[in-house]
Amino acid sequence: MIQFFNTLSGGKETFRSIVPGEVKLYTCGPTVYDYAHIGNFRAYLFEDLLKRFLQFAGYRVSHVMNITDVDDKTIKGAEAQGVSLEHYTAKFIQAFFEDTRLLRVAPADHYPRATEHIPDMVRLIRGLLDKGYAYVKDGSVYFSIAKFPEYGKLSKIRTDELQSTERVEDDEYEKESAQDFALWKARKEGEPFWDTAIGPGRPGWHIECSAMSSKYLGETFDIHCGGVDNIFPHHENEIAQSEAYSGHPFVNYWLHCHHLIVNGEKMSKSKGNHFTLRDLRQKQADPLDIRFLLLSTHYRKVLNFTFEALDQAKASVQRIKDFLYELESRSFPAGDSPSITKLIQETQEKFIGGLGDDLNISVALTALFELIKKANILIMEEKIRAGDAETLSAFVYRLDGVLAVLPAKQEASLPEEVVKKIERREEARRAKQYGLADQIRKELLQAGIALEDTKDGVRWKALKKIG
């Protein structure tokens, strides 16, 4: 049984997908007005853990993550630099994909971009106008929250004291100022616009996710995620737009992760207290240690970022690597023992049981580290056989299919200085320093490692025993 805390009901619920064995998942993606910071990545990594766990539990997951490439912030950024919106966002879209790859975020099935789905948004807005949920004012179209009595059901705000004549134009605003919000913003001098059946203008942020989620996942789907700051107004407005339009429930389970904070304050661009992955890599942090750090606190708890915590995360990942190294580098007597099969079974049950209980990562990690501790004692006592070592190593890699904090298996068996050398050669090649790249290749060859450049990246082959 899998349980999730559903923001909509305010409690833990047993998870049942609409189609047995399949999960349709929508996660709000980046607004590409800047580099994503690791607070944003806390959200994307929680979603990645959720998705990998559902897959581990046997579900087929269809995952859609949008790219918000037109909204108040992207337009402002492009304007400030005097470049086109497309030109401005391209760099951040590319950086986002680079960062997700480094953090081993499993790719979504679709990454729809808002600017490529304007007709879908216009269709939705026209439908809302036809049904009387929306109205036009000065060329903009607004959603009338008074027409949707369930408005507030996700964020639990009360709308009975609100004045329905008030309107808000901005994409982001506080709960206290819940008002009719813009679905479509009339063309403004100097802003990008689209000429459409509802007039010239551009979409509001919220309608983008309503249009793109239903296009790829249908009018009702299983899970929708984001950070807690998305609950209001973004997700509240998505529900209003989508349910008013379709007449059906929009999403069955709403999962929200809490913030990454620094010194008691939410990490955010506007507060200037943020770190990007680039910032941390410059300080020699390994993306997979950052991944571990961001995953290892339960998603509904606030996580305080410190460099000490990052060091601890690094040490934890190293413990797993050291364990694998022991298993793979020692020679054990032939055979296997039933006690190891039992230990693995118990660990698997605890791991699945933990994550199945609203993604309780602490229970899952404790199970893994207990296994390592017990198996290390057995290694010391010379009670491990070759078959056990293989089963244990395969099992740890299987769990890493969910955690994704270990380097690819091939690299794991290489000494760190060799991995670093291979990376340095890659960097040299990217910087077109071919002389240096060649020199490193020769050095590696002398150490017994032959490199091969393939279309999937560099591969290595050991010509003699390494390490």
Residues at the interface with ligand AMP (CB under 6 A): 28, 30-31, 39-40, 42-43, 226-227, 229-230, 257, 259-260, 266-268
Sign of CA dihedral 143, 145, 149, 155: positive
* Cβ-contact 256, 226 below 8 angstroms: yes
The answer to whether residue 251 forms part of the interface with Zn ion (CB under 5 A) is no
207 binds, among ligand AMP, Zn ion, none (CB under 5 to 8 A by kind): none
Q: What is the distance between the alpha carbons of residues 185 and 189, in angstroms, rounded to a whole number? A: 12
The answer to whether residue 225 forms part of the interface with Zn ion (CB under 5 A) is no
Q: Which is nearer to ligand AMP, 279 or 382 (CB)?
A: 279
Sign of CA dihedral 420, 426, 427, 429: positive
CB of 213 to Zn ion, least distance (A): 8
> Which member of 32, 122, 209, 290 binds Zn ion (CB under 5 A)?
209
67 binds, among Zn ion, ligand AMP, none (CB under 5 to 8 A by kind): none
The answer to whether residue 28 forms part of the interface with Zn ion (CB under 5 A) is yes
Structure tokens at 206: 């919220």
Q: Which of 118, 220, 128, 155 lies closest to 7 in space, CA to CA? A: 155
Q: Which residue is nearest to ligand AMP (CB)?
A: 227
Q: Which is nearer to ligand AMP, 270 or 331 (CB)?
A: 270
Q: Which is nearer to Zn ion, 209 or 340 (CB)?
A: 209
203 binds, among Zn ion, ligand AMP, none (CB under 5 to 8 A by kind): none
209 binds, among ligand AMP, Zn ion, none (CB under 5 to 8 A by kind): Zn ion
CB of 95 to ligand AMP, least distance (A): 12
213 vs 29, 111, 171, 197, 254, CA distance in Å?
11, 11, 18, 22, 14
Name the phi and psi angles at 255, rounded to 5: -115, 130
297 binds, among ligand AMP, Zn ion, none (CB under 5 to 8 A by kind): none
Which residues, in sequence order, are CB contacts of 334 under 8 Å at separation 6+? 385, 386, 387
Region from 86-94, 106-114, 209-217, 353-361 binding Zn ion, contact rule CB under 5 A? 209-217
317 binds, among ligand AMP, Zn ion, none (CB under 5 to 8 A by kind): none
Give me the amino acid identity at 149: P
368 binds, among Zn ion, ligand AMP, none (CB under 5 to 8 A by kind): none
Q: Which is nearer to ligand AMP, 225 or 422 (CB)?
A: 225
The answer to whether residue 141 forms part of the interface with Zn ion (CB under 5 A) is no
266 binds, among ligand AMP, Zn ion, none (CB under 5 to 8 A by kind): ligand AMP
Q: Which is nearer to ligand AMP, 37 or 202 (CB)?
A: 37
Which residues, in sequence order, are CB contacts of 420 under 8 Å at separation 6+? none
Q: What is the distance between the alpha carbons of residues 153 and 240, in angstroms, rounded to a whole number? A: 10
Tokens 């290595």 correspond to what residue? Answer: 460
Which DSSP string do the residues of 390-452 spell out, in sequence order? HHHHHHHHHHHHHH--SPPHHHHTS-HHHHHHHHHHHHHHHTT-HHHHHHHHHHHHHTTEEEE
CB of 28 to ligand AMP, least distance (A): 5
The site for Zn ion (CB under 5 A) is made up of 28, 209
